[in-house]
């Protein structure tokens, strides 16, 4: 049995975070997770008293029964990395197995637009005329979300230097603690070229200093996530896909979900090995690990059969071997 005290954890966490950052990771979010666990140990036994590592970890992971399983899994993964780091110093130190965490199967199922609905919404966006956002900018936003699966905040924050039309890719900076390159196809490249002309017209008409972002409000200012989200919600309500009041119905995030499910469905019909392709999709979408991506396998009847016990066993085995 491995015993741990809060004071020892403070030192271990500091060394581990420094190691991660020396490897090029920002590790800000994970550092917060580690410090939350350290505070839980301190609250249980003070700074110097030692407690069983496995027991306090189980208590901490189980502290809120209503949390999403993916969230618990991500926290568990961070603590397990710390344990593996500690094991370099002390080979007998506690390292939990991948399937040890108290994680229940997620019941979350995203709303999935059909392809016809996506086409309809993108067409309808062109006619959008609001005080803060013109139709051309809303159309471009939806195209980016659906064609690349970017998060809403990632799309809104895209800077002009982050867009390479020649290589046809976005550089997404420091999202969820990491950066990534997101390729796109010819059709989106053409739309982006048109959008660059639109943003120049907006800036000329408003005599505004260029904020540097691809997407602009009618005022020439950078498009905020809040304005972008509200514009999409208004569009969904206007097209009858969302109730006029309340938060029920599809959300702006569903374009990202639609991208993932439609990509998986296409691979399914092509006869591709979805289990082998899932890590590709996970990396492309910026998920920390494949747990955040596998939920899409249950999103449609065509894919539901693939979310089997065989899949779970496959990934547990792969993680143990890594």
Q: What percent of the chain has pLDDT over 70?
A: 88
Taking only the tens place, the pLDDT of each residue in 265-316 is: 999 888 888 878 888 998 999 987 776 787 787 777 667 665 444 444 444 5
**Both ends of the chain: CA-CA distance in Å?**
24
Q: Which residue has the higher pLDDT, 76 or 231?
A: 231
Binning pLDDT at 50, 70 and 90, where does residue 107 land? Answer: low
The closest of 222, 204, 206, 225 to 214, measured between CA atoms, is 222
pLDDT for residue 71 is more than 50 = yes
Residue-level pLDDT at 88? 83
Instruction: For 103-128, give one letter per residue: b (16+ CB within 10 A) or e.
Output: beebeeebebbeeebbeebbebbeeb
Give the model confidence (pLDDT) of 16-46 as tens digits. 999 888 877 778 888 999 999 999 999 988 9
Distance, CA of 294 to chain centre: 13
The answer to whether residue 225 scores a pLDDT higher than 80 is: yes
Residues forming a β-bridge with 222: 216
Question: Who has greater pLDDT, 125 or 177?
Answer: 125
Q: What is 110-169 written as a DSSP string? A: -----HHHHHHHHHHHTT-B-SS-BHHHHHHHHHHHHHH---HHHHHT-BGGGEETTTTE
Which pLDDT score, from 0 to 100, does residue 311 have?
47
Q: Rounded CA gap, 281 and 297, in Å?
A: 12
Q: How far apart are CA 244 and CA 242, in angstroms?
A: 6
pLDDT of residue 145: 98
Question: Rounded mean pLDDT of 134-142?
Answer: 97
Q: CA-to-CA distance for 193 and 163, rounded, in angstroms?
A: 11
Residue pointed to by tokens 């208004």: 234
Q: What is the mean pLDDT of residues 151-180?
A: 93
Q: How far is CA 60 from CA 13, 53, 143, in A?
A: 17, 11, 41
Closest of 67, 64, 62, 8 to residue 38, by C-alpha: 8
171-197 confidence digits (pLDDT tens): 999 887 789 999 999 999 999 999 999
- Residue 202: what pLDDT? 97
Across 28-32, 53-57, 106-110, 277-281, least confident range: 106-110
Q: How far apart are CA 19 and CA 30, in angstroms?
A: 13
Residues 6 or more apart in contact with residue 253 via CB below 8 angstroms: 110, 151, 152
Looking at every residue in the chain, the average pLDDT score rounds to 86
Question: Is residue 186 helix, strand or coil?
Answer: helix
Confidence band, pLDDT 50/70/90 cuts, at residue 13: very high
Where in the chain are the domains?
A: 3-89, 115-253, 256-321
Beta partners for residue 51, in sequence order: 4
pLDDT of residue 101: 63
Cα gap 285→187, rounded to integer Å: 20
Quote the pLDDT of residue 9.
Answer: 93
Does residue 262 contact residue 254 with C-beta atoms inside 8 Å?
Answer: no
| pLDDT-above-90 percentage for the chain | 52
| pLDDT at residue 22, as a whole number | 81
| CATH homologous superfamily for the domain 115-253 | Intergrase catalytic core (1.10.443.10)
The Cβ-side half-sphere exposure at 49, using a 13 Å CA radius, reads: 9
């Amino acid at each position: 049995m491995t015993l741990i005290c809060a004071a020892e954890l403070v030192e271990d966490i500091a060394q581990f975070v420094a190691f991660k950052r020396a490897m090029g990771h920002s590790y800000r979010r994970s550092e917060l997770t580690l410090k939350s666990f350290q505070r839980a140990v301190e609250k249980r036994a003070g700074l110097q008293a030692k407690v069983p590592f496995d027991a306090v970890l189980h208590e901490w992971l189980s502290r809120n029964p209503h949390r999403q399983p993916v969230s618990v899994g991500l926290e568990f993964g961070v603590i397990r990395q710390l344990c593996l780091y500690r094991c370099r110093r002390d080979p007998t130190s506690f390292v939990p197995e991948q399937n040890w965490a108290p994680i229940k199967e997620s019941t979350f199922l995203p709303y999935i637009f059909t392809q016809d609905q996506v086409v309809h919404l993108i067409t309808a966006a062109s006619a959008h005329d609001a005080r803060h956002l013109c139709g051309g900018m809303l159309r471009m936003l939806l195209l980016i979300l659906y064609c690349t699966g970017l998060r809403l905040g990632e799309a809104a924050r895209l800077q002009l230097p982050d867009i390479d039309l020649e290589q046809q890719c976005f550089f997404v900076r420091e999202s969820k603690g990491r950066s990534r390159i997101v390729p796109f196809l010819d059709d989106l490249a053409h739309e982006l070229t048109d959008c660059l002309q639109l943003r120049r017209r907006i800036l000329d008409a408003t005599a505004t200093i260029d904020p540097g972002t691809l997407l602009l409000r009618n005022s020439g200012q950078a498009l905020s996530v809040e304005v972008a989200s509200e514009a999409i919600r208004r569009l969904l309500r206007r097209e009858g896909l969302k109730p006029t009041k309340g938060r029920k119905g599809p959300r702006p995030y569903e374009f990202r979900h639609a991208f993932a499910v439609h990509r998986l469905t296409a691979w399914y019909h092509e006869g591709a090995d979805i289990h082998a392709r899932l890590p590709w999709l996970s990396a492309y979408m910026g998920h920390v690990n494949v747990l955040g991506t596998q939920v899409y396998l249950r999103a449609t009847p065509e894919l539901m059969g693939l979310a089997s016990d065989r899949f779970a066993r496959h990934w547990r085995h792969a993680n143990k071997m890594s």
